[in-house]
Chain A
């Protein structure tokens, strides 16, 4: 099964304390940022700090670096430094088909994959093409803030302005069997708002959500983990399936409802995720 990517925490590349402690908040992935959260005069310092940290420390999380945009004067230096680092993915901001092509070329000979940041109106319209440009491109993140600037609309807590973009990128990602991560919730002191926003994203099909503060991780992880109820129900389905198989029955019912293949597949997936998250042990299935 693919990696679990419930949460991805942005860490400003020029903040030593956060870089040092990035791994302690149980975020499934860390995104060391060389782009928006780093001031122009700090770009080289951030690049150096991230390089040193990744070469020195061992991290448990999936490691991603967001580099400077293709058309910026820092792109070349960023990519040169990143190519040699033990990272899993590069997050390409303001992604386009051309951008992915350039990055793909640069990454030849490395094991580094690409994640695209969809944050423009054109990017949303072209998302299927962008994701299909390269085998290395494993998934996407939606960037709501920049997108709203492009759409000339206000970013709201309800996120209604992002509805179309969210649905479109999820559909494209799922059509290509790639992952999709929702835009961050920017009010770091509104836990309830974060929970609602994450629940809505999960309901649309997102695999996880970006975080801009470590305090957001717990809520995000909880929302994107299978619930206790889901786990129990899935275990019952799999148990019933095993009995039905033994008895040679093709079809069976639970609580009066027919259980067919898609339901079994979903139950299998939930239990697989739950096991990976240690929410259920191997014995629980017996």
Chain B
């Protein structure tokens, strides 16, 4: 099968046993120049060898407050360059101006682990000339070090940068904490540019070494720090979310893996955060202390570190300003790269996880999870670290309401497979908990509890009784997005959305 803009000899996903690439490229840059600084982006772009068909990379640590991607792409567009591949770790609603560049053929291909907002819609409706590749956070590093993607130019939003190009995310007016996703870009790009709004003489502690950086540009502002806070970092007050969270915390407690030194990761959604709230109570009650929590870090997890409930936090990205403060002040709050976080070729943190709490927009009877599209087939997210952590963690717990108004969670078959059911262990809903039948150990442990264990088929029956079975969504023939598993095998292909 030929997909426009995608490698021809791709392999289809068969199982969670990883296909490892034998030959890896290792970074060998060592730019020690003292003449990296340029005082405007225009001057630098005049100097750079811009050409059609380039791959340009960006990171998403400034989340929905990022100015850098739009700023750079606007200038590139002005220079009449076409057929650009954007290799961004994630794209947010603030990147709306890219839609215009897609329509003009300036941007023709996109790689990202997560896309929400207007760009996601444009891709879903087939506006992108070539394909969109949706990888995982760990898979992004693999793409680069395996040579599948070659970054021509990396523009790294840098909250603080010194004269040598050393970059820190912890300081400056646009501080965003960890710069985990940008490390690969700096190490592997043909040309790496630090774009900063806090250019200083010298910094001692940095997340990205100056020898990987070729140019430095000062701009008035790289982003709006308010945009870093994703808006979902408060514990939910919704009673259904709270019930699900309570049950999920009990699943952890009775799983057989809840003991001193356990490790834990949860997302920033209101219900996922609420799991930490209940877990905190259970940890205190049973005097259990965890070794580490990882992932995107929120103020709530910081509180648990400060309360002595975890020894360390491994942070690939800060979700709020509390996390930014903590990573600056607390030596046990440790910034890690995306590779250390989730790359299959690295000794990744996700492989040491005992528990991960994840969301889902759809799940099917084989426990396959969709977090890439809405139930109508429009892209509204992506794996991020979903498939990575599900694969690495001993117990992968999905939390979600069984239905949202009239939209069911459980489908016969998910519209888009982001994370394979093989790596998903427990589904917690407000009306019962379903355990993947292959986890006989968990099923055995839960037998001795009051937990409402049911089969996923029974949960689907309840849903169908309440909502009926929705009609299948009709999609077109054109493949608009390829969904890559963390090892680069193709786990699904998303087809064009035809109408609203």
Interface residues of A (CB under 8 A from B): 17, 20-21, 24-25, 57, 213-215, 218, 278
21 interchain pairs (CB within 8 A)? Answer: A17-B405, A20-B466, A21-B240, A21-B430, A24-B240, A24-B243, A24-B430, A24-B431, A25-B239, A25-B243, A57-B465, A57-B466, A213-B239, A214-B239, A214-B240, A214-B243, A215-B237, A215-B239, A215-B242, A218-B246, A278-B450
CB distance from A14 to the nearest CB of B (A): 16
Kindly list chain A residues whose C-beta atoms are within 8 Å of the C-beta of B243.
24-25, 214
Give the docked Cα–Cα distance between A57 and B242 (Å).
23
Within 8 A of A (CB), among B448-483: 450, 465-466
CA distance A137 to B246 in the complex (A): 37
Interface string of B230-243 (1 = CB under 8 A from A): 00000001011011
B402: nearest residue on chain A (CB-CB)? A24
CB distance from B9 to the nearest CB of A (A): 49
A215 to B405 alpha-carbon distance, docked (Å):
20
Residues of the A chain whose Cβ atoms lie less than 8 Å from the Cβ of B405 = 17
B242: which A residues are within 8 A, CB to CB? 215
**For the complex, what is the distance from the CA of A25 to the CA of B401, rounded to whole Å?**
13
- Which residues on B sit within 8 Å (CB–CB) of A25? 239, 243
Interface residues of A, dominant DSSP: helix
Report the Cα distance A25→B239, complex, angstroms. Answer: 8
* Nearest residue, chain A, Cβ from B404: A17
A54 CB to nearest chain B CB (Å): 14
Which residues of chain B have C-beta atoms less than 8 A from A214's C-beta?
A: 239-240, 243
Q: Bound complex: CA of A214 vs CA of B236, how far in Å?
A: 13
**Residue among A24, A214, A278 with the highest chain B CB neighbour number at 10 A:** A24
Chain B positions near chain A (C-beta within 8 angstroms):
237, 239-240, 242-243, 246, 405, 430-431, 450, 465-466
A68 CA to B42 CA, complexed, in Å:
73
Shortest beta-carbon distance from A281 to chain B in Å: 10
Distance, CA A215 to CA B237, complexed state (A): 8
User: Bound complex: CA of A17 vs CA of B405, how far in Å?
Assistant: 7
Chain A residue with Cβ nearest B467: A20
Q: How far is the CA of A20 from the CA of B430 in the complex (A)?
A: 12
Distance of A274 from chain B, by nearest CB (Å): 12
Q: How far is the CB of A78 from chain B (nearest CB, A)?
A: 26
Bound-state CA distance A21–B401 (Å) is: 10
> 17 extra interchain contacts, Cβ-Cβ under 8 A, other than A25-B239, A57-B465, A214-B239?
A17-B405, A20-B466, A21-B240, A21-B430, A24-B240, A24-B243, A24-B430, A24-B431, A25-B243, A57-B466, A213-B239, A214-B240, A214-B243, A215-B237, A215-B239, A218-B246, A278-B450
Smallest CB-CB A-B distances: 3 pairs: A214-B239, A24-B430, A215-B239
List the B residue with the shortest CB-CB distance to A17. Answer: B405
Cα of A57 to Cα of B403 in the assembled complex, Å: 15
Contacts of B431 in A (CB 8 A): 24
Report chain A residues within 8 Å CB of B466. 20, 57
Query: What chain A residues lie within 8 Å of B240 (beta carbons)?
Result: 21, 24, 214
The distance from the CB of A191 to the nearest CB of chain B, in whole angstroms, is 12
Q: Give B430's nearest chain A residue, CB to CB.
A: A24
Alpha-carbon gap, A20 to B404, bound state (A): 11
| Complex Cα gap A17–B450 (Å) | 27
- Which of A17, A21, A213 lies at the interface centre, i.e. has the most chain B CB atoms within 10 A of its CB? A21
Q: Which residues of B contact A213 (CB under 8 A)?
A: 239
B429 closest partner in A (C-beta): A24
Nearest-neighbour CB distance to chain B for A128, whole angstroms, equals: 37
Contacts of A57 in B (CB 8 A): 465-466
Q: How far is the CA of A278 from the CA of B239 in the complex (A)?
A: 23
| B95 → A minimal CB distance (Å) | 33
Chain B residue at minimal CB-CB distance from A188: B237
Chain B positions within 8 Å of A20 at CB level: 466
Nearest A residue to B462 via CB reads: A58
Residues of B within 8 A of A218 (CB): 246
Question: How far, in whole Å, are A17 and B237 apart by their CA atoms in the complex?
Answer: 15
Cα–Cα distance between A54 and B405 once the two chains are bound (Å): 18
Chain A contacts for B450, CB-based, 8 A: 278
Of all chain A residues, which has the CB nearest B403? A20
B residues near A278, Cβ cutoff 8 Å? 450
Report the bound CA distance from A21 to B243 in whole Å. 12
Cα distance A251–B237 when bound, in Å? 53
Quick one: closest B residue to A278, CB to CB? B450
Which of B243, B431, B450, B466 is packed against the most chain A CB atoms within 10 Å?
B243
